[in-house]
């Protein structure tokens, strides 16, 4: 893990700063008296920026490389943070959230493709789980940092700028071998969907689960009757569970088939969510269930990423990172808005009831895809071992890149003369 220390440190500060920014924006707009719709729409703009940022990130990485792309994207985030301090116009902030989403997509593409390219297949799960651990630590640190400020003025914006700027330093000065230059290959989302259908399907559902939790779980806890302190504990327990599960799940994913682990996680999330929707809303029971929910809901993304990256070549990793983040962002943006409407129509229990139904659908789809992939695998009986004299042929020399072509041609001509 020490080999990737610079990337982990960069991710830690980046997520801490942007996590603080996200919470600050929501609280500041709420303090101003903006409606819940507009606060939620700010979050949607960020996820929409993630969706649109995949092409920007791919173009930059292809043109100027990983480190320069990260520096440029992070500078763009800093510019947007500064604009938050210049004006609190709602429409401007909507645009800024969109731009921050695009820039963060580029940053995530840099970090995740770099990690996956240089991670060995047998320890990719553990390497990516530690990456997720730094993300959760950064997220928690950002939330606690906001508690240091008694008022929601512009002071937290300075702390955001400091954290994000510090994140540029480790990756810019790393001595680790840089990723390979990006080859000019054109691979569409549908191509990746054919290459890694289980991963992209699962990660779409993971986006719905994660986005709806962060956006709507506080509202669920409020309508259950929890006070402000209990709501904060409810959210913290879930996030900490996700943090604690990263390393054990990473080890498990290097020893057990990842596709199986994803389906098991879907089942556990579904059962837990159903219990949260049906059981009486006792505080201690809810905390226990949300802890279990966090253990498996927040390990879906690294499991899906590790599974997908075991299916592609190094040249495809940047494009794959974009495809994974695109699917996750699509799920988060669509899911948050859809589940919010269901909660408005059917009450707060609709949140976890719907998540339970979605994970059941996810399990069925993944099982069908897995069965289809097994059926499409070529059986060993399709191959027949046959004797061949190719090892005795001078054509072997022409196939060896170490042999000069003129020598290979001369050997071929001489062999033909002998046969005559």
Residue with tokens 């837990």, as numbered in its chain: 272
Using an 8 Å Cβ cutoff, are 48 and 99 in contact? Answer: no
> Per-residue pLDDT tens for 139-151?
778 767 776 777 7
Residue 199 phi, psi dihedral angles, 5° rounding: -65, -50
**pLDDT at residue 271 in the model:** 95
**pLDDT at residue 272 in the model:** 94
DSSP annotation of 381: G
**pLDDT at residue 175 in the model:** 73
Distance CA 279, CA 282 (A): 8
Q: What is the signed CA dihedral for 161, 115, 100, 145, rounded to 10 degrees?
A: -40
Q: What is the signed CA dihedral for 15, 17, 23, 26, rounded to 10 degrees?
A: -120
Instruction: Give the residue-averaged pLDDT of 166-182.
Output: 76
**pLDDT at residue 397 in the model:** 32
Instruction: Give the residue-averaged pLDDT of 335-357.
Output: 85
Using an 8 Å Cβ cutoff, are 258 and 320 in contact? Answer: no
Distance CA 314, CA 318 (A): 8
**pLDDT at residue 193 in the model:** 74
Q: Which CATH class is domain 9-179?
A: mainly alpha
Cβ neighbours of 330 (radius 10 Å):
20
Helix, strand, coil percentages, rounded to 5, for the chain: 80, 0, 20
Strand, coil or helix: what is 351? helix
Cβ neighbours of 173 (radius 10 Å):
9
> Per-residue pLDDT tens for 237-295?
888 888 888 778 878 877 888 889 999 999 999 999 999 988 877 888 889 999 999 99
What would the two tokens of residue 183 be? 């080859």
Asked if the model's pLDDT at residue 409 lies above 60, the reply is: no
Asked if the model's pLDDT at residue 99 lies above 90, the reply is: yes
Asked if the model's pLDDT at residue 75 lies above 90, the reply is: yes
> Per-residue pLDDT tens for 10-65?
989 998 888 888 777 776 776 777 766 676 677 778 878 877 887 788 788 878 88
Q: Which residues contact 192 (CB under 8 A, 6 or more apart)?
A: 200, 308, 312, 316, 319, 320, 323
Instruction: Write the CATH number of the domain with boundaries 194-375.
Output: 1.20.1250.20
Mean of pLDDT over the chain:
77
**pLDDT at residue 259 in the model:** 85
Indicate the pLDDT class of residue 77, thresholds 50, 70 and 90. Answer: very high
Q: Where are the alpha helices (DSSP H) in 279-404?
A: 283-297, 300-309, 317-346, 350-376, 395-399
The residue that leads in pLDDT, 233 or 162, is 162
The residue that leads in pLDDT, 396 or 72, is 72
The residue that leads in pLDDT, 350 or 415, is 350
Asked if the model's pLDDT at residue 186 lies above 80, the reply is: no
Give ranges for CATH 1.20.1250.20 in the chain: 9-179, 194-375
Indicate the pLDDT class of residue 373, thresholds 50, 70 and 90. Answer: confident
Q: Which residues contact 358 (CB under 8 A, 6 or more apart)?
A: 205, 208, 209
**pLDDT at residue 356 in the model:** 94
pTM: 0.68
Q: Write the DSSP assignment of 264-299 as a string of letters.
A: HHHHHHHHHHHHHHHS---HHHHHHHHHHHHHHHTT
Strand, coil or helix: what is 231? helix
- State in Å, rounded, how far the first CA of the chain is from the last one: 63
Asked if the model's pLDDT at residue 130 lies above 70, the reply is: yes
Query: Which H/E stretch holds residue 140?
Result: helix 124-146
């Amino acid at each position: 893990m020490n080999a990737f220390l610079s990337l982990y440190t960069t991710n830690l500060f980046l997520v801490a700063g942007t996590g603080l920014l996200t919470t600050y924006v929501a609280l500041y707009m709420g303090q101003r008296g903006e409606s819940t719709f507009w606060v939620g729409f700010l979050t949607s703009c960020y996820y929409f920026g993630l969706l649109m940022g995949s092409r920007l990130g791919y173009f930059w990485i292809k043109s100027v490389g990983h480190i320069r792309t990260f520096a440029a994207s992070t500078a763009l985030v800093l510019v947007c943070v500064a604009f938050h301090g210049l004006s609190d116009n709602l429409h401007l902030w909507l645009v800024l959230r969109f731009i921050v989403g695009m820039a963060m997509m580029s940053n995530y593409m840099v970090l995740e493709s770099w990690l996956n390219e240089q991670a060995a297949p047998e320890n990719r799960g553990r390497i990516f789980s530690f990456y997720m651990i730094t993300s959760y630590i950064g997220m928690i640190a950002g939330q606690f940092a906001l508690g240091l400020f008694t008022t929601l003025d512009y002071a937290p914006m300075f702390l955001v700028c400091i954290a994000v700027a510090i994140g540029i330093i480790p990756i810019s000065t790393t001595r680790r071998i840089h990723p390979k230059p990006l080859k000019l290959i054109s691979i569409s989302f549908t191509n990746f969907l054919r290459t890694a259908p289980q991963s992209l399907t699962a990660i779409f559902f993971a986006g719905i689960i994660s986005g709806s939790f962060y956006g709507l779980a506080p509202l669920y806890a409020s309508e259950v009757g929890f006070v402000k302190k209990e709501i904060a504990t409810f959210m913290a327990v879930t996030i900490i569970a996700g943090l604690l599960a990263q390393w054990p799940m990473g080890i498990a994913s290097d020893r057990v088939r990842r596709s199986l682990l994803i389906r098991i996680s879907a089942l556990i999330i579904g059962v837990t969510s159903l219990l949260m929707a049906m059981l009486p809303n006792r505080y201690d029971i809810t905390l226990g269930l949300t802890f279990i929910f966090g253990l498996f809901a927040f390990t879906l993304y690294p499991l899906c990423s590790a599974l997908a990256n075991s299916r592609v070549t190094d040249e495809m990793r940047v494009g794959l990172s974009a495809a994974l983040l695109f699917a996750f962002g699509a799920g988060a943006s669509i899911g948050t808005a859809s589940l919010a409407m269901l909660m408005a129509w059917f009450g707060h229990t609709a949140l976890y009831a719907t998540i339970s139904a979605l994970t059941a659908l996810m399990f069925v789809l993944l099982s069908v895809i897995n069965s289809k992939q097994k059926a499409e695998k070529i059986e060993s009986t399709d191959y027949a071992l046959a004797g061949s004299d190719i090892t005795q042929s001078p054509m072997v020399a022409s196939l060896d890149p170490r042999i000069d072509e003129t020598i290979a041609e001369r050997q071929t001509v001489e062999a033909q003369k002998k046969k005559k």
